[in-house]
Amino acid sequence: MIGINVYLALIAIATLLSMYRVFRGPTTVDRLVAVDIMTTITAGLMVLFALYYERMIFLDVALVYAMLAFGGVIAFARYMEGGL
């Protein structure tokens, strides 16, 4: 099994790339997608913490966080579209 350090390094690289897109994205939609990717990365990080610390409550927190983040992205996309 691959060590947790490898997973954390991959998550750090993905986060840096997403932050680059947030700051340098040419359109608002690019920035919105980058923020959505960062929320997905954060939920994945919570799952890794749950596995590492053997605390399954982090899985519930990650699930609720992912659902709220999805709802937020959908609401902002509707707002950008002019539907709200």
The predicted-structure confidence for 3-21, as pLDDT tens digits, reads as follows 778 888 888 899 999 999 9
Return d(Cα 47, Cα 58) in angstroms, integer: 6
Percentage of residues in the chain with pLDDT exceeding 90?
Answer: 55
Tally of domains in the chain = 1
**Could you list the residue range(s) of the whole structural domain that residue 67 is in?**
1-81
* Amino acid type, 76: F
Percentage of residues in the chain with pLDDT exceeding 70?
Answer: 96
Helices (H) and strands (E) in the chain, counts: 3, 0
CATH number where 35 lies? 1.10.287
pTM: 0.82
Query: 55: helix, coil or strand?
Result: coil
The predicted-structure confidence for 35-49, as pLDDT tens digits, reads as follows 999 999 999 999 988
